[in-house]
Amino acid sequence: MSRNTITTLGPRHPSLTITGSNTITGLSITGNMNNSVTWDSNGNVKKYEVVETTEDILALSVTWHRLRLLGINTIERPTTLTDNILFGVINQEDRDRANVIRDYFSKKIVMITLRGQNLSSFRKDLNTFIHGDCKVVKEELMPLIYRLPEFYDNDIQHDEMFRDFNKHFEDTSKLWRGTKTLKPVRKFFINLKTKKFLEYWLKDENDRGYRIEIPFENKLNHLWEHFFKQETIPILGAYRYSEHDGINYYQIKDWEIDFTKT
């Protein structure tokens, strides 16, 4: 039978160590009394750290996002969502915007669930945060919360674009190759954890959407940008019928501009 140690540290607590014999073996608990608890055992207990704030953590993220967009350099730059700088400059508009963002993603997740779609790992984490305590969150969710105002703006811009699209159509062929003359609509910069890319949207004479993805670092982007400014572009490629969040469109792969049609 082994001896076990429990150690707690905190600004209002002296270091406290309790030792003694116990029937539980191989267990060690350490943590900051304010914001973290770590359990080390045989893998049956999940490790996590909790951050507790006096403000809605999403509102703090909105504040930081606002400062980045405004390019404010008159104050020291924040380094974390719990930076004291953010607590000093947060305002009611930030809190209200946080509630709007929370409501938007809550309704979006409900719609995805009603359509019978499985939630990705990202959306499961998003669901956990959106419907949890806004002032007590797992530290592992902080990167997601930091990006949430940006994701919201991106989603809203997509929603606005799709209003002019024919979002609900069917194509039994699923995949075909050929040339389509398409009208450029809009581009987005997508910054994911794993990659950065430019997302270009076009549509046909029936207002059906077409999506092209180009790596952000592609050195020939400027040439494509020239053609994307034209009224229409003939594109030869592989067209795959796709669906995402209830929106039907074509994903274009292995494409090139069909100069025989220009």
Q: Tell me, what's the pLDDT at 43? A: 66
Please determine, for residue 2, whether its predicted confidence score (pLDDT) is greater than 90.
Answer: no
Across the strands, what pairs with 233?
182
pLDDT at 33: 37
Nearest to 152 by CA among 77, 66, 56: 66
CATH of domain 175-261: 2.40.50.140
**pLDDT level of residue 35 (50, 70, 90 thresholds):** very low
b/e map 128-149, b = 16+ CB within 10 Å: ebbeeebeebbeebbebbbbbb
What is the greatest pairwise CA distance in the chain?
Answer: 83
- Give the residue range(s) of CATH 2.40.50.140 domains in the chain: 175-261
Sheet with 13-21, strands from edge to edge, namely 13-21, 3-10, 28-30, 36-40, 48-52, 136-138
1: pLDDT strictly greater than 70: no
pLDDT at 229: 94
pLDDT above 80 for 14: no
Judged against a pLDDT cut of 50, whether residue 64 lies above it is answered with: yes
Task: Look at residue 24 in the predicted model and tell me its pLDDT.
Answer: 33
Between 28-37, 158-167, 189-198, 213-222, the lowest mean confidence (pLDDT) is in 28-37
Share of the chain above pLDDT 70, in %: 82
Give the model confidence (pLDDT) of 193-226 as tens digits: 788 999 999 999 999 999 999 998 888 888 999 9
* pLDDT at site 156: 96
For range 175-190, the mean pLDDT: 96
Q: What is the mean pLDDT of residues 165-170?
A: 94
| pLDDT tens digits along 93-151 | 999 999 999 999 999 999 988 888 888 899 999 999 999 999 999 999 999 999 999 99
Give the predicted TM-score (pTM) of the model. Answer: 0.77
Overall average pLDDT of the 188-195 stretch: 88
Percent of the chain with pLDDT over 90: 63
